[in-house]
Amino acid sequence: MAVQTELDPVADLIAEAKRVLPGGSFGNLPAEVVIRAGKAAHVWDEHGKEYVDFLLGSGPMFIGHGHPEVTAAVESQLPHGSTYFGNNRHGIALARAIVDAVPCAEQVRFVCTGTEADLYAMRAVRAFRRRDKILKFEGGYHGMSDYALMSMAPKNPGNFPRAIPDSAGIPKSVRDEMLIAAFNDVDMVESLIKEHKDELAGVIVEPFQRLLPPQPGFLQALRRITKEHDIPLIFDEVVTGFRFAYGGAQEYYGVTPDVCTLGKIVGGGYALAAIAGRADIMAHFDRLAMADEDFLFQVGTLSGNPIASIAGLATLEVLKRPGAYEQVFATGRELKAALGDILSKAGIKATVVGEPPLFDVVFTDQPIKDYRDTLKGDKAIATKFNKLLRERGIMKGESKYYVSLAHTRADIDQTIGAWTEAAAELKKG
Ligand SMILES: Cc1ncc(COP(=O)(O)O)c(C=O)c1O
């Protein structure tokens, strides 16, 4: 007799993913999470389960999924083609909007991902300074290039920050080109820069490193020290750009770098990122302005394509409206405070870290100022908490709550309810 198997199309989809994708996934989330749709601050998985979304596509969907104005803008361009390789009016308008918004931006070069933007920003300061070494911070994430993947998440960091590759396949020689300092440690950065100033091309930093705010005076000191030695300072604003303020973290914290990188929000959920900065550094991208040995060769098939550009422009239009940032910050402040309160009332050792538009909890009661401090957090509890939340209709990644303009009163209430239940479950052990 034939055995009857129940049809489960989602199980089939997951099995198919496991067959054709390494690890069964695109590399970002587990194979079991298959998302079908997103609208405003909600997503639905392939089972039809609805979630309040704090993943937001890992940040770009700051005004919500499928925003009607972004959709209309993209639809207006679609009949005219999706990419030309050459300049187009929407890309030029977006570059203009970036120059108007971002304090350090005098000129802009478009690419498609934050990884590329960071790679070229580092290359641009190397070309400008005619030096090779870049200083980055332990725990700082600047995409997936060989250079960026030095001590982004070292498992055994040793006694002192140093360049440790985060991935297989990175040439050993790359270690020698990167200097590593501890975030928020002015003395360490100052002594490293003084010692290596003659070989340093630049310093790259996330002004808000993953979840860690800069301590008061840290970014100002970084600016002062780099300026003293004429070393370009790069802010990686792939996450913070247009999130912390319309002018990014540089506006929010009041420190202007020489170059910054943008991604995520600036492309409105489409593939677009940018390097923006001082005209004399950006000039290295200009074949006509540079001698051969100073010219930074850079092209990209989809760079500045009109679909992503018009989506970015429509997103910025929404963000420019009065009250947009006030609303995101009010939502974030309420959520952050509630999360801390719920965990503290439940007697769980936890510290909520971050700024209102981007935060998470680290399960430790120790102070957290740099990467090593984050390792003190109990990862197993964090994973369990996230799982309990997902079961209760809250979608987030392993770390980070991305807050959006689309989160509503009902979303906040649902999230607080889920946190309360999940904390009670954690307490049971
Ligand atoms: C600070 C930072 N820089 C760079 C990147 C890389 O961007 P992408 O994933 O677009 O390559 C990310 C991605 O999350 C990021 O958070």
| CB-CB contact of 277 with 104 (8 Å) | yes
Nearest-atom number in ligand 1 for the CA of 58 is: 14
| CB-CB contact of 236 with 140 (8 Å) | yes
Across residues 55-71, what is the average pLDDT?
Answer: 98
Query: Catalytic one among 141, 270, 371, 402?
Result: 141
DSSP track, 105-152: -SEEEEESSHHHHHHHHHHHHHHHHT--EEEEETT----SSTTTTBSS
Chain segment 31-55, per-residue pLDDT in tens:
999 999 999 999 999 999 999 999 9
Q: Which two tokens stand for residue 176?
A: 């020698």
Chain segment 134-160, per-residue pLDDT in tens:
999 999 999 999 999 999 999 988 888
Question: Directed axis angle between helix 306-319 and helix 68-77, to 10°?
Answer: 150
Residue located nearest, by CA, to atom 16 of ligand 1: 239
How far, in Å, from the CA of 237 to the mean position of ligand 1?
9
Does the beta carbon of 206 sit less than 6 angstroms from any atom of ligand 1?
A: yes
Q: Which residues pair with residue 359 across a beta bridge?
A: 354, 401
Residue 19's CB is within 10 A of a number of other CB atoms, namely: 8
Does the beta carbon of 140 sit less than 6 angstroms from any atom of ligand 1?
A: no
Name the one residue in this structure whose structure tokens are 């050792």. 349
Residue located nearest, by CA, to atom 3 of ligand 1: 142
Q: Is 421 exposed, middle or buried (0-12, 13-18, 19+ CB in 10 A)?
A: middle
Q: Which two tokens stand for residue 14?
A: 């997951």
**Sheet arrangement for strand 35-39:** 35-39, 42-45, 50-53, 394-395
Question: Directed axis angle between helix 324-345 and helix 409-428, to 10°?
Answer: 20
Name the one residue in this structure whose structure tokens are 């987030």. 396
pLDDT > 60? residue 270: yes
Does the beta carbon of 209 sit less than 6 angstroms from any atom of ligand 1?
A: no
Q: What pLDDT sits at residue 4?
A: 53
Assign 429 a pLDDT band (cuts: 50, 70, 90): confident
Q: Which residues pair with residue 303 across a beta bridge?
A: none
Does the beta carbon of 263 sit less than 6 angstroms from any atom of ligand 1?
A: yes
Query: Catalytic one among 118, 236, 373, 411?
Result: 236
Residue 75's CB is within 10 A of a number of other CB atoms, namely: 10
Residue 241's nearest CA partner among 211, 267, 216, 215 is 267
Chain segment 364-386, per-residue pLDDT in tens:
999 999 999 999 999 999 999 99
φ/ψ of residue 53, rounded to 5: -100, 115
Question: Whole-prediction pTM value?
Answer: 0.97
Does the beta carbon of 188 sit less than 6 angstroms from any atom of ligand 1?
A: no
Nearest-atom number in ligand 1 for the CA of 143 is: 6
Counting Cα atoms < 13 Å in the Cβ hemisphere of 175 gives 14
Amino acid of residue 387: K
| CB-CB contact of 402 with 414 (8 Å) | no
In the DSSP assignment, the letter for residue 205 is E
CA 299 from centroid of its chain's CA atoms:
23
How far apart CA 305 and CA 323 sit, in angstroms, is: 30
Does the beta carbon of 114 sit less than 6 angstroms from any atom of ligand 1?
A: yes
Chain segment 72-121, per-residue pLDDT in tens:
999 999 999 999 999 999 999 999 999 999 999 999 999 999 999 999 99
Across residues 167-186, what is the average pLDDT?
Answer: 98
How far, in Å, from the CA of 181 to the mean position of ligand 1?
20
Kind plus residue range of the DSSP H or E element containing 332: helix 324-345
332-364 residues labelled b (16+ CB within 10 A) or e (exposed): bebbbebbbebbeebebebbbbbbbbbbbbbbb
Q: What pLDDT sits at residue 310?
A: 98
Q: Which two tokens stand for residue 344?
A: 């503290």
Does the beta carbon of 373 sit less than 6 angstroms from any atom of ligand 1?
A: no
φ/ψ of residue 60, rounded to 5: -65, -30
Chain segment 238-256, per-residue pLDDT in tens:
999 999 999 999 999 999 9
Across residues 13-22, what is the average pLDDT?
Answer: 97
| CB-CB contact of 327 with 407 (8 Å) | no
Percent of the chain with pLDDT over 90: 96
Tell how strand 273-277 and strand 394-395 pair up.
Answer: unpaired
Residue located nearest, by CA, to atom 7 of ligand 1: 114
Across residues 184-188, what is the average pLDDT?
Answer: 98
Q: How far is CA 257 from CA 63, 201, 405, in A?
A: 26, 14, 27
Q: Which residues pair with residue 50 across a beta bridge?
A: 44
How far, in Å, from the CA of 400 to the mean position of ligand 1?
13
* Dihedral-angle region of residue 296 (phi above 0 means left; psi in -120 to 50 means alpha; beta otherwise): beta
How far, in Å, from the CA of 141 to the mean position of ligand 1?
7
How far apart CA 149 and CA 320 sit, in angstroms, is: 35
Chain segment 298-351, per-residue pLDDT in tens:
999 999 999 999 999 999 999 999 999 999 999 999 999 999 999 999 999 999
390-412 residues labelled b (16+ CB within 10 A) or e (exposed): bebbbbbbebbbbbbbbbeeebb
Q: Which two tokens stand for residue 118?
A: 């960071």
Ligand 1 pocket test, pick from 239, 261, 303, 399 with the greatest ligand atom count within 8 Å of Cβ, gives 239
Across residues 253-279, what is the average pLDDT?
Answer: 98
Query: Catalytic one among 120, 246, 253, 264?
Result: 264
Across residues 263-276, what is the average pLDDT?
Answer: 98
pLDDT > 80? residue 3: no
Across residues 176-183, what is the average pLDDT?
Answer: 98
> 141 an active-site residue?
yes
Chain segment 188-236, per-residue pLDDT in tens:
999 999 999 999 999 999 999 999 999 999 999 999 999 999 999 999 9
> 264 an active-site residue?
yes
Does the beta carbon of 120 sit less than 6 angstroms from any atom of ligand 1?
A: no
Across residues 387-412, what is the average pLDDT?
Answer: 97
| CB-CB contact of 218 with 189 (8 Å) | no
pLDDT > 60? residue 5: no
How far, in Å, from the CA of 261 to the mean position of ligand 1?
10
Q: Which residues pair with residue 136 across a beta bridge?
A: 180
> 258 an active-site residue?
no
3 state DSSP class of 28:
coil
Does the beta carbon of 236 sit less than 6 angstroms from any atom of ligand 1?
A: yes
